Amino acid sequence: MLAYSLKRLLLAALVVLTVSGITFIMTNAAIDPAKAIAGANATIEDIEALRRSFGFDRPLVIQYLDWLGNALTGNFGESYRLRTPVAELLLDRLPVTMTLGGCALLFALSLSIPLGVVAALKPNSPVDRLALSLSVLGQALPTFWFALMMIILFGIVLRWLPISGSGSWAHFVMPSIALGYYATPAFMRLTRAGMIEVLASDYIRTARAKGLRPATVLFKHALRNAVIPVVSLAAVQFGFMLGGSVVIETIFALHGVGFLAWESISRSDIPVVQAIVLLISLFYIFLTLLADLLNAYLDPRIRVG
Amino acid sequence: MATSTVFGAARLSPEQMLAPSPMALLRRRVFGHRSLMFGIIVLGLMVAMAVGAWFVAPHDPYAQSLASRRIPPIWHAWFWDNPKAGWEHILGTDKVGRDYLSRLIYGARISLVIGIATMLISGIIGTTLGVMAGYFGGRVDMVVTFLITTRLSMPVVMVALAVVALYGSSLEVVILVLGFLLWDRFAVVMRSVTMQARSLDYVTAAQAIGCSTPHILLREILPNILNSLVVVATVEMANAILLEAALSFLGLGVQPPLPSWGLMLSEAKEDMFFSPWMITLPGICLFLLVLSINLLGDGVRDVTAPENRN
């Protein structure tokens, strides 16, 4: 287990290094950061002076190593636009995005696991077909359009829910549904497939044969095992949701990391963009690492092979 | 039973000779698959509409008219007696008076071009990496797996937004960015199916008689993994179309006045309160196009999977 964990950790560190390198070089090569800071009215001398004082005249690799060293100590530099430390901005916005991601995941799981279980109990029944058709239709629905349609229906026509801002729990209902529904089909299919496999296994037959209540067999013996792969998929999907929050947060004007990313991208505020991309990647890498280690702990075949 | 001779066909029983050919069986499976037929018909209509847009569209999609702004679609005349709605603009006009139906028809072009071009770029990158990893294994596999992990840990929407914004937004940039981002699924799937195909007997046989590696990859492995390739290609094409729409909706994809469906949604956002149909119509087009592509992929998987035969 230790050898496997170390190997996996090393890989994660290498991925972090590559992702941050690609992001840094791609964003810094695109535009002249000195010009972006100086603004439209600056003279060539101003820009040149800025370039030297910020160190933009050094080779990109040196700049990257410098940035990475600072980032490791939690210093992501200063926002060009707001003149505040990027780390502060992120800490300020992170709770909203985390709440949104958590609620979206909760919504997706609480919808898909029951559906998957019911579908697995009677494969090819009308319920199963309905669940599968819903997942096919859901997969074709553009997330942002779904969000707009919800705004029209629940926000404008019925006036049940607020359509922008992040003041109360009600502000999170529509964004969470919009962000979460996209993951539902994947969860549902995995739950269904897992349940069908587990329900056909010998120990379920034994449990039934010794006269346990059907509900006990279903929830205590079958679901527990069927849900293991769903847990690791949930980790991956949570990472994707944090990345996808940029679209949803922009639509609902939810002041989280995603909205900050969109604002910074449209204003070429590079330090913020770099920090956000790195942060989201870090979360994804951490979550998949956690899921892998959990799986290796639960299933000895992985860590030995 | 029958020993095989040069004239083996002569030994077939009458029933065997009258049995439908494999091609006829395939045809039967395709026509009997309702959702596949739905996908083929809708996608076919969309492609026809996109190709013949100049012929089908009733108006110029770029022609603005101050006199006919925000005309509602024809059903507003039927149900709410709206005097502005009429046959001149069946699906109404947008806020600068451009015919909505014509813009929707031309929009199909953009979505399809982006979907197909992105799918080709990412397909070539992903398939090459995946097949190499699956066939050679070892170090090559390690490197490709690392590349896939790295790619997966980068948030697609954010990276695409940032690159498009920084390098200038145009159709070409969007295609290139999406093409270089969406190859991961190709690589993952192609890697695993190639691994399975590599251990098949006829591949070993080809290796034993000394076929070259390119020959084995192209003539023995590729035909075997083509089914999965088609399925992944449809998924990624749909994915690219949805992503382009999202980027354009956020204002960082295709630029105006191009009639991209995502851009139309973005332009209609401020009219959401009084003209909700401006939001509804492009969304329905996107939904139908993506649904038909997904159904096509699912259907191809169903009818070509050997376990579903007979």
ipTM, two decimals: 0.85
φ, ψ dihedrals at B33, nearest 5°? -95, 100
In a domain, A246, yes or no: yes
Measure CB to CB from residue A243 to each of B157, B242, B283 and give the nearest one: B157
What residues make up the domain containing A205? 101-256
3-state secondary structure of B281: helix
3-state secondary structure of A105: helix
The type of residue at A293 is L
- Planar angle of CA A285, A287, A288, nearest 5 degrees: 65
d(CA B72, CA B263): 19
Interface residue B269 vs chain A (CB under 8 A): yes
Interface residue B308 vs chain A (CB under 8 A): no
pLDDT in tens, B151-180: 988 888 888 888 888 887 888 889 999 999
CB contact under 8 Å between A277 and B154, yes or no, is: yes
CB contact under 8 Å between A277 and B252, yes or no, is: no
**Which residues 122-161 in chain A show a CB within 8 A of chain B?**
136-137, 139-145, 148-149, 151-152, 156
Measure CB to CB from residue A281 to each of B154, B161, B291 and give the nearest one: B154
In a domain, A18, yes or no: no
CB contact under 8 Å between A143 and B295, yes or no, is: no
In a domain, A205, yes or no: yes
In a domain, A209, yes or no: yes
- The neighbouring-strand residues paired with B99 are B93
d(CA B210, CA B305): 31
In a domain, A142, yes or no: yes
pLDDT in tens, A175-232: 999 999 888 888 998 898 888 888 888 888 888 888 888 888 888 788 887 888 888 8
Interface residue A97 vs chain B (CB under 8 A): no
Structure tokens, B226: 């083509």
φ, ψ dihedrals at B93, nearest 5°? -135, 165
d(CA B272, CA B280): 9
In a domain, A162, yes or no: yes
| Tens of each residue's pLDDT in chain B, 310 residues | 444 445 555 567 777 777 778 788 888 888 888 889 999 999 999 999 999 888 887 888 887 777 777 777 877 777 887 777 777 777 878 877 788 888 999 999 999 999 999 999 999 999 999 999 999 988 999 999 999 999 988 888 888 888 888 887 888 889 999 999 999 999 999 999 998 888 888 888 988 898 888 888 888 888 888 888 998 999 999 999 999 999 999 888 888 888 889 999 988 888 877 788 888 899 999 999 999 999 999 888 888 776 655 4
d(CA B235, CA B185): 9
In a domain, A23, yes or no: no
Q: Which residues in chain A have their CB less than 8 angstroms from residue B279's CB?
A: 145, 148-149, 152
- The neighbouring-strand residues paired with B86 are B89
Tell which residue, B240, B116, B250, has the closest CA to residue B181. B240
Measure CB to CB from residue B249 to each of A15, A144, A151 and give the nearest one: A144
pLDDT for B240 equals 93
In a domain, A21, yes or no: no
- Planar angle of CA A100, A103, A104, nearest 5 degrees: 80
Q: pTM above 0.90?
A: no
CATH number at residue A243: 1.10.3720.10
Domains in chain A, number: 1
